Chain A
Amino acid sequence: MSNAKTTTILVVDDSRVSRLLSRQFILHNHPDWIIEEAVTGEEAVTKLSSISPDLILLDVNMPGMGGLAAVVKLREISPEIPICLMTANVQDATREKAHNLGVQFAEKPITQARIDHVIAQLENA
């Protein structure tokens, strides 16, 4: 992760409360970071034409393009951006799909510890 510019995180979730919690927990330890939000996978794809986030936190179960389909589209546009799926669907099958797509996987509910863990993995990459 570059220190030359302010870190930007794109939070993609149809749930406003999940976006709010992600924002709160990220800013708690990184108050100067920029949080961008998208409500759907489609909106996230569109946003990538105007922003270049350092990390994308992506919900799986969303109306329209779900998180797994969104990963494929987002990768086509910006293959280098790390993506972490955030989901309550902790089935082995979903973990395997995330693994096969080469993205991180974090369980919901969103907690400070989980957000910190995802960011630590990003910083250590």
Chain B
Amino acid sequence: MFQLDELQHDALVELFNQGVGQAAAAMSQIVHEEVTMSVPLITFQSRAEVAQELGGPEARRICAVTQTYQGAFNTEAMLMFPEEKSLEIVRLMVGQSVTMEELSEMEQEAMSEIGNIILNSCMSTLANIAGKELHGSLPIYRIGTSDQILGSSDNQWSGMVLTLKIDFNIEKHEINGYVAFLLDTTALHDLQAYLQQYLSGLMP
């Protein structure tokens, strides 16, 4: 069973804290509102368990933007919102100058771009801290239950995954979403090496 020691665990939370801090700032610039984010919650689960947790007991439908990153470590990064909040977020982004019809037309593209900005903002911070480059794919937008979204991912991961889940909140509009980073077993060992290298750089 894969395990991080206490120092590595702390470093992981701290690094993603900095990453999501940047992501929150980017999100705030997009929606022109204050965005708060939780401390990353790290879990080690199967994909099915992750889907169950993200979907909640009512298996609510969500919209998700996913991007895969490769480099120092490989991960699938996901930005998720309740489906019914998607248009509201796009409206906050583009303002009142576009019609409702135009807004609906551009919803998918706009959400992809929002995901691209948020996820890249976070991953760029992680890359810069460690002085490593991470190569991201183009964003993919999906709507469905968390089961459908996690199950439909184009990847070979069937085992346990490490999940970093971060809740964020646009309070004035009562919009809650979350960002998750999934790493499979191979990626976990690369992540561990990445963390160890980061920690070694901190030691005198």
Spell out A's residues near B (CB within 8 Å): 15-18, 20-21, 24, 61-63, 87-94, 108-109, 111
Contacts and interface: CB of A to CB of B under 8 A. Distances in A.
Interface of B: 26, 29-30, 90, 93-95, 97-98, 106, 109-110, 112-113, 116-118, 120-121, 124, 127-128, 131, 133-134, 136, 138
Contacts of A90: 120-121, 124, 128
Contacts of B113: 15, 17-18
Contact of A17 (B26, B90, B121, B133): B90
A88 B125 CA distance: 11
Given A17-B110, A61-B138, A109-B30, A91 B94 contact: no
Contacts of B128: 90-92
B29 A16 contact: no
Contacts of A111: 29
Given A15-B109, A93-B127, 20 more contacts: A15-B110, A15-B113, A16-B109, A17-B93, A17-B110, A20-B94, A21-B94, A62-B138, A88-B116, A89-B120, A89-B124, A89-B136, A90-B124, A90-B128, A91-B124, A92-B127, A108-B26, A108-B117, A109-B29, A109-B117
A88 B117 contact: yes
A39 B93 CA distance: 20
Contacts, number: 64
Contacts of B98: 20
A110 to B, nearest CB: 9
20 contacts: A15-B110, A15-B112, A16-B109, A17-B110, A20-B106, A21-B93, A21-B94, A24-B95, A61-B136, A61-B138, A88-B26, A88-B117, A88-B121, A88-B124, A89-B124, A108-B26, A108-B116, A109-B26, A109-B117, A111-B29
B94 A17 contact: yes
Contact of A91 (B29, B117, B118, B134): B134
Contacts of A20: 94, 98, 106
Contacts of A21: 93-94
A93 B133 contact: yes
A87 B117 CA distance: 8
A92 B124 CA distance: 8
Contacts of B138: 61-63
Contacts of B136: 61, 89
Nearest to A18: B113
A111 B25 CA distance: 13
Contact of B106 (A17, A24, A63, A108): A17
Contacts of A63: 138
